[in-house]
Structure 1
Amino acid sequence: MSHAALSRAERSYIVDGLSATPPLRQDGRSLTDFRPIQVETGQTPQADGSARVMLGSTEVVCGVKAEVEAYQVPRVGCTTGSKEDEFMPWLPPTPRVQAAIEFSPALLHEHNAVELSMITSAVQELLSACFRLHSDRFGPLDARQFIIVPFAKFWTLHVDVYVLSWSGGNVLDAIFAAVLAAIRNTRLPGTKMLAMDTAKLQEGAATAPDATEDDPMGMKFITRGKKHAAGRPAAQSIDFALEDEWEEGSLLDGRAEVPVCISVYPVRDTFLLDPTLEEESALSTSIAVLASASGRLYGVRQRGDGEVTLRMMNQAIEVGLYYARQLAKTLSVSVA
């Protein structure tokens, strides 16, 4: 939790106001009212996608950079009855979306290292949960679009978050709003393979499932890999070329389902959303709910040292899901 310089009397005044009937907030909002969010995209020409988000006086910049990763996919031996085969997965084990977060030098003096470390850990863990490989997708993103050269080269998205100001509070929600806007703004250029071992390519085509029959999306070939007879090398591409410029590339498939974060703060028998820095400091715990515009839940994380019952947690998740849908739809319209 953030720590503004509040006296005991100030903290008590804020909590009593939030617990009153009707609740009283210093800026006049109801407990679940969000402040207006300002979003600007495409502000960083060096990035393949970027966004700047301002929530009150909290300001966050996010840039997404696509890089080519070379990875020699290993051949894994497998036995089917008396027959020995080799299996080659089509994706490397490392995540395709990697996140880093930095803070402006001014924040290093305003907030202690433990507090900044907790925010960094929360962001990285929630993003890892969001973009974890499941079936044929990295979270909401189609896994196939990360393959440049089968078995050899893949796209990796580096999501770099820079927190310029935290003075308005609710930095976690602002960070994920910036991540959503930046990813929706990201484009990947089209690529084509320049050279293949033709004989081995034909061998691979013979073993690939027919995309027109029981696998219309061709996902068996992508996600399950390709089998080869033991001791025989796999087909390998030696290079690739860009078919178009970065700014003319394709938007990410699945970007509409990138989640946002809603930080839910228990206050007696109700909940507070979008707190100011002073309200964050006065409350002892929050529940971060990560969910998309369709209402899919990607992650939940408790922050702070307050006690949260199971009933309270379930209620907070319901509140977070509802407002995450609203926020994600609003942001999607802003960056469309």
Structure 2
Amino acid sequence: MMKLLASGKRLDGRGLLDYREIKIENGVVEKAEGSALVSMGNTKVLVGVKIETGQPYPDLPNQGALTVNAEFVPLAYRYFEPGPPDENSIELARLVDRGIRESKTIDMEKLVIIPGKEVYVVFVDVYILDHDGNLVDAAGLAAISAILNAKLPVYRVKENGEVIKMDEYVPLPVQNCPIPVTMVKIDDKILVDPTLDEENMASAKLTITLTKNGEICAMQKSGLGAFTLDEIVEAQKIARKKSSEIREKFFREWC
């Protein structure tokens, strides 16, 4: 592999900065308000969006609520085990949540039914179906795809304060489109969209999530190795270019 990397190639034939083939299928879960299945090479992630009503967070009485959960299905990878969420699934959910929340993807102030009392609660559930590397990008793309095609059930408030669900749906109030771009460092090379084998060889991993305006809304580094300042600057340039390409190809009509 090291000889290939030195020549600018990878085991699967890609260049160092190339993504695997990305496929996005929307509306794959009939009973969800929104859903998407993303395939990134052999990595497959399903996201479902459910929307219910509930009480707002005490410190955000005039905003809706967002909850992101991730589940690693045991059949996706030999080391995934059934049971409560482990640190890997919690970390993935946190990264997806941060990209959505910090970019203000959803206008949460428009998800209020009764200020301080009842709001919409958006549940984003991430399911890892097949793990061959770069779960963050696949999960992030599936989450934003599911949010973009989600339908918000309409509720009306009667004069007596009773909340009635109508037989009517409208799109979620979406105002941004965050795209995560993950890179790893192997020796002195930066690789985009690492496979599982490449992640296992890497000394460090960096995910940069960017808004539709090219602003960084989330950044996460993992691994025992380090990126130099010059490498981080270069990684930001790569992430801007790649996120723009993905947005243009898959989300042009929305953002």
For normalisation by structure 1, the TM-score amounts to: 0.68
Alignment counterpart, residue 316 of structure 1, candidates 207, 211, 235 = 235
Alignment counterpart, residue 98 of structure 2, candidates 122, 126, 129 = 129
* 1:147, distance to aligned residue in structure 2 (A): 0.3
1:106 aligns with 2:75: yes
Q: How many residues align?
A: 253
Q: After the TM superposition, which parts of structure 1 deviate over 4 Å for at least 4 consecutive aligned residues? A: 71-74, 267-270, 333-336
Equivalent in the alignment of 1:142: 107
Equivalent in the alignment of 1:29: 14
1:91 aligns with 2:91: no
Residues 295-331 of structure 1, C-alpha deviations (whole Å, 9 max, x = no match): 1211000011112223322221221122112212322
Q: Highest relative contact order (Cα 8 Å, sep 6+), 1 or 2?
A: 1
Structure 1 residues 17 and 142 mapped into 2: Cα distance closer, same or farther (>3 Å)? Answer: same
Residues 149-179 of structure 1, C-alpha deviations (whole Å, 9 max, x = no match): 222110010110110100x322221111111
1:63 aligns with 2:48: yes
Partner Cα separation in structure 2 for residue 173 and residue 71 of structure 1: 29
Structure 1 residues 145 and 52 mapped into 2: Cα distance closer, same or farther (>3 Å)? Answer: same
Alignment counterpart, residue 252 of structure 1, candidates 154, 172, 189 = 172
Equivalent in the alignment of 1:161: 126
Partner Cα separation in structure 1 for residue 32 and residue 116 of structure 2: 26
* 1:333, distance to aligned residue in structure 2 (A): 4.6
Whichever residue aligns with residue 253 of structure 1, its letter is P
Partner Cα separation in structure 2 for residue 33 and residue 130 of structure 1: 22
Superposition CA RMSD, Å: 2.7
Equivalent in the alignment of 1:190: 154
Structure 1 residues 260 and 148 mapped into 2: Cα distance closer, same or farther (>3 Å)? Answer: same
* 1:55, distance to aligned residue in structure 2 (A): 1.1
Unaligned runs of 5+ in 2: none
Q: Is the 8 A contact 1:61 1:161 kept in 2?
A: yes
Partner Cα separation in structure 2 for residue 148 and residue 321 of structure 1: 37
Instruction: Pick the structure with more helix per residue.
Output: 1
Unaligned runs of 5+ in 1: 1-13, 75-88, 197-237
Structure 1 residues 122 and 316 mapped into 2: Cα distance closer, same or farther (>3 Å)? Answer: farther
For normalisation by structure 2, the TM-score amounts to: 0.87
Partner Cα separation in structure 2 for residue 311 and residue 187 of structure 1: 43
Partner Cα separation in structure 2 for residue 60 and residue 34 of structure 1: 16
* 1:54, distance to aligned residue in structure 2 (A): 0.9
